[in-house]
Chain A
Amino acid sequence: MRKYTPYMILAIGLLALAIDLLPNLKLPDSRATDGTRPIETKLGLDLRGGLRVEYQVQPVDGVIATAADVATIRDIIERRVNSTGVAEPLVQTQGSDRIIVELPGVSDPDAIRALLGTTGRLDFIPLPAETYGSINVATGEPTEGVKPVPGQGALLDDPTLKPLFSGDQISTSSVSTDDTGQRVVSFSLKSEGADLFSTYTSENIGSYFAIALDGTIVSAPYIQSAITGGEGQISGGSGGGFALEEATSLVTILKFGSLPFPIAEIGVTEVKATLGAAFLGQALFAGAVGILLVFLFMIMHYRLAGLVASGALIFYMLIVLALFRLIPVTLTLAGIAGFVLSIGMAVDANILIFERTKEELRIGKGIIPAVEAGFSRAWNSILDSNVSSLITAFILFYFGSSTIKGFALVLIIGVLCSMFTAISLTRVMLRAVIHQPRFSSPYLYGVGRGDLDSEAAALKPAGAQHE
């Protein structure tokens, strides 16, 4: 087995290098439209700019949404997002009642928020003539009712009103213009809705009729003639017609249906793309400086062994980056900090091993047994300490919110990879080196020339027996 380890390591390294550097690699992905997904480094919104909205699903009359309802809401929101043409949107559920929407590089966040947050329940509500008055179609004479007809944008707060039917009866809708050139939304009804509409309009000619979106009046026209064909138009109310965006939003909402439960925004974050790019540049530069300083420190302290450890660190970074691209892990600012931190932890295993090796060298062991003892004796400490890191990282991953999860995932991958590179890889590389006679001086492993025997004597505790 030991004979093949170097080849396996070489193969893993080459594979990682290919994943890191080759462009246009693809992975099969059943959820994607074309069945594949490109391998790429995904950046979080804080590094590329964009909009992030967190929604909470609201209960209706004390009824709480089930997991299936939340999933339905997620699907509807995702379809609404896709209709806007935003590239690479992310819509996901979190916990029992949260939905998170991340939209990189959005130019008009307010319009998208208005579209996504709408419950989208379109109601066709008859306004009884005895309360709201009517119009004599033949003469154009109005009959005043007890209440004024609500105008566009008004909240419908009369609990006695019941919708005739709702948006789910609309089969198709589109943006068009009416006879006077105003922008309207045309719709055609399914047969059930068409029958209801036909019966009601033919019996109540001259009465007012309200079309309300989530309880807010979109328009309230009066019935000029019976509408029997199931075709109709929604005009934008107060004379000016719809703005194009409003009309398109309404069509989108009608097309994908209303949400079974209303949702409320509970947090919104908007990052400008330029700011994100600046952060990314700074973080990468900081990481590079930090890593170079670690190399310098290791080489100064452990000389040849430090050089080997630095090589293992480069290997470590290649593998971790490849995993980030494969899984994929979305890198945020905190994630990059986690990655840089994990380098510090990866070095720790090597420091443990090298310090142990130095101790063995000081008591007079040869290079080869000293290095082997260094590895086997440091193993317990490395295992125990890495498991404790994994415990905290898993707790963060399982119970944390999405930013914290990203950081924890980076840390978990980092710890697991470092166990491999700092132990297996360094061991293979060091074994190759220590069998060369010219690399056998303890000086090359960080032991000072003078302290070979003196320290060993000084460090023995009083009364302790030599092994």
Chain B
Amino acid sequence: MNKIIARKRWFFLFSLLVTIPGLFFIIATPLSGGAIGLKFSVDYTGGTVWEFKLEQPADALVVRDVVAAAGHPEVQVTEAGSGFLIMRTKPLDLQSGSESDPSQPAGAELAAIRAAIESEVGPIAEAGSLSTVGPVISQDLTQQAILLIALGSIGIVLWMTYRFRNLRFGLAALVALLHDVIVTVGFFAVAGTLFGVEIDALFITAMLTIIGFSVHDTIVVFDRVRENLARYAGAPFADIVNHSIVQTLGRSFNTTATVLITLLSLLVFAGGSIRTFVLALFVGILSGTYSSIFNASPLLVWWDERVTARKSSPSARRTA
């Protein structure tokens, strides 16, 4: 417990072991043309998603072939549980100005697909949600994601620097929150590759919430460091930071535990479109707790050691 700072290299190493494979999968996404890495939902790619249930269950592949033959070769059909099938195609039925034929009435293309399924596979028992996203919205969303995360990070670094009157605290918090962003996006890049888990519009919201939470944890430790710096003036910086981490450990674990409890409950009992969102929060908040205890504060010490080493004799580097 009292050797967190002394073992900081091990904790940095662990973070690298987690983030590097994640980064690999994230970078592989554009390089492999989407075959490996993040799987984007229609929110980002544009397209139509339609959920429906057949009276007689049929194989997704059979339905796929029927819809493909009806003029939509790009279609994907997957099973969604409780008998529902999910069909994904290019954007359907957008009126005037989209790729679709503006002279057709609304819903004509989907009606044609329905008719094809009903005549070739069997009657449709129930139609669930239907969502079409055109190319304009999907382009907006990608730009929005980058803008929001950049602004969020800058805002937090400025606030931290202002409150702690020291850029080091802001930058250490920035490193910790970038760590959490990479861990979470990396997690979904791996999950997308292995299980086809898609990220949707709410994923941006999850990332921003994770950033906020990660900084929550970091601030609590840093606040204690600031307080202890005044109280134990003259003590080695590394000892003060270590002591501050230990003092706030109970709070860090308990807060994380309560948040994870609520998220776990949502993950198990709430369905629908927020599953991915809640899972992202779960991973990110776990990572946020780790990074603020084992990365952000040790980084402060590491930086301090660097500065001290440069100023005085080389032997000063060994004090930690």
- Residues of B close to A343: CB separation below 8 A: 262
Complex: A119 Cα to B266 Cα, angstroms: 44
Beta-carbon contact of A399 and B151 below 8 Å = yes
In the complex with contacts A265-B95, A272-B129, A392-B156, A54-B269 CB distance below 8 A: no
Complex: A345 Cα to B155 Cα, angstroms: 20
Taken residue by residue from 225 to 261, chain B's Cβ proximity to chain A (1 for < 8 Å, 0 otherwise) reads as 0010001101110011011001110110011011101
Beta-carbon contact of A340 and B129 below 8 Å = no
Beta-carbon contact of B159 and A391 below 8 Å = yes
- Residues of B close to A275: CB separation below 8 A: 51, 128-129, 272
A-B pairs under 8 A by CB, number: 272
Q: Of B151, B255, B262, which contacts A293 at CB under 8 A?
A: B262
Complex: A375 Cα to B280 Cα, angstroms: 33
Complex: A216 Cα to B101 Cα, angstroms: 13
Q: With an 8 A cutoff between CB atoms, is B31 at the interface?
A: no
Q: With an 8 A cutoff between CB atoms, is B215 at the interface?
A: yes
Beta-carbon contact of A334 and B274 below 8 Å = yes
B273 CB, nearest partner CB in chain A, Å: 6
- Residues of A close to B224: CB separation below 8 A: 381
Q: With an 8 A cutoff between CB atoms, is B204 at the interface?
A: yes
* Interface residue ranges of A337-355 to B (CB < 8 Å): 337-338, 340-341, 343-345, 347-348, 351-352, 355
Beta-carbon contact of A268 and B277 below 8 Å = no
Beta-carbon contact of A381 and B223 below 8 Å = yes
Residue of A nearest to B201 (CB): A403
* Interface residue ranges of A251-284 to B (CB < 8 Å): 262-272, 275, 278-279, 282-283
- Residues of A close to B160: CB separation below 8 A: 388
B71 CB, nearest partner CB in chain A, Å: 19
Q: With an 8 A cutoff between CB atoms, is A58 at the interface?
A: yes
- Residues of A close to B262: CB separation below 8 A: 287, 290-291, 293-294, 340-341, 343-344
Beta-carbon contact of B136 and A388 below 8 Å = no
Residue of B nearest to A264 (CB): B97
- Residues of B close to A271: CB separation below 8 A: 129
In the complex with contacts A293-B265, A388-B212, A401-B144, A395-B151 CB distance below 8 A: yes
Count of chain A residues with a beta carbon within 8 Å of a chain B beta carbon: 86
Complex: A190 Cα to B272 Cα, angstroms: 54
A267, A278, A380 — which one has the most chain B CB atoms within 10 A of its CB?
A267
Residue of B nearest to A389 (CB): B212
B37 CB, nearest partner CB in chain A, Å: 24
Beta-carbon contact of A385 and B137 below 8 Å = no
Complex: A285 Cα to B129 Cα, angstroms: 22
Q: With an 8 A cutoff between CB atoms, is B190 at the interface?
A: no
Q: With an 8 A cutoff between CB atoms, is A437 at the interface?
A: no
Q: With an 8 A cutoff between CB atoms, is A457 at the interface?
A: no
Taken residue by residue from 126 to 153, chain B's Cβ proximity to chain A (1 for < 8 Å, 0 otherwise) reads as 1111111111110011001001100110
Q: With an 8 A cutoff between CB atoms, is A68 at the interface?
A: no
Beta-carbon contact of A384 and B223 below 8 Å = yes
* Interface residue ranges of A453-467 to B (CB < 8 Å): 459, 461-465, 467
**Sample (20) of A-B pairs whose CB atoms are under 8 Å apart:** A46-B273, A110-B107, A263-B96, A265-B95, A270-B131, A286-B270, A289-B265, A290-B261, A297-B261, A337-B277, A338-B209, A384-B223, A388-B215, A391-B152, A396-B152, A403-B201, A403-B205, A404-B201, A464-B235, A467-B231
